[in-house]
Amino acid sequence: MPGNQSPAAQPAVSQSAASATVRPASPANSAVTASFLFDPPTLQTAKGSTFAVNLLVTGAQNVYEVPVQLNYDPKLLQLVNVSNGGFLSQDGQLVTLVHREDDTLGQSQITASRPSGAGGVSGQGSVVTLTFQAKAEGQTPLTITRGGARDPGMQAITVNGAQAAVSIQ
């Protein structure tokens, strides 16, 4: 009988599974939590040099905007550039990057957004590429202390945080 079809054959707008209403892919996506990762997760660099670290997202579903707060030791590192990593522009859309640094706290507020009216993107990839200058010898973590994502309706999407280790010699 047509009314006895399996859930996979029914449309994603089924009201019986509230978690599936926003996730048009497979029911397995409802168990997936997105995560941030740094690439590389550990790095060594020389005092005075510059280096780049990618902030990746994995397991993302319908992402329109990514706001994060990045913390680091301002005695050891200076953030010199934030650039688009390509994840939010994977379909050719332009990405707006807004960032504000507090060099005394070693903190940066970064928001990467897709254009108004654009849908969200899913999957994994680099959200932004961060370029730092190594100011002094020592070790410091790079930490996403607040972060997440938003869908095109500006609803919050939980994203697990990330940390990388930087050694400066």
Top CATH class of 33-159 equals: mainly beta
Q: What is residue 70's predicted lDDT score, i.e. its pLDDT?
A: 96
The per-residue pLDDT of the chain, averaged, comes to 84
Q: Which residues contact 116 (CB under 8 A, 6 or more apart)?
A: none
Dist. CA 115–CA 166, nearest whole Å: 34
pLDDT at 14: 32
Measured CA to CA, the distance from residue 140 to residue 74 in angstroms comes to 9
Q: Is the pLDDT of residue 49 over 90?
A: yes
- Which residue do the tokens 């660099």 mark? 45
Confidence of residue 32 (pLDDT cuts 50, 70, 90): low
Q: Tens of pLDDT along 68-125?
A: 999 999 999 999 999 999 999 999 999 999 999 998 999 999 999 999 999 999 999 9
And the tokens for 49? 């040099």
Q: What is the pLDDT of residue 7?
A: 38
Q: Specify the pLDDT at position 100.
A: 95
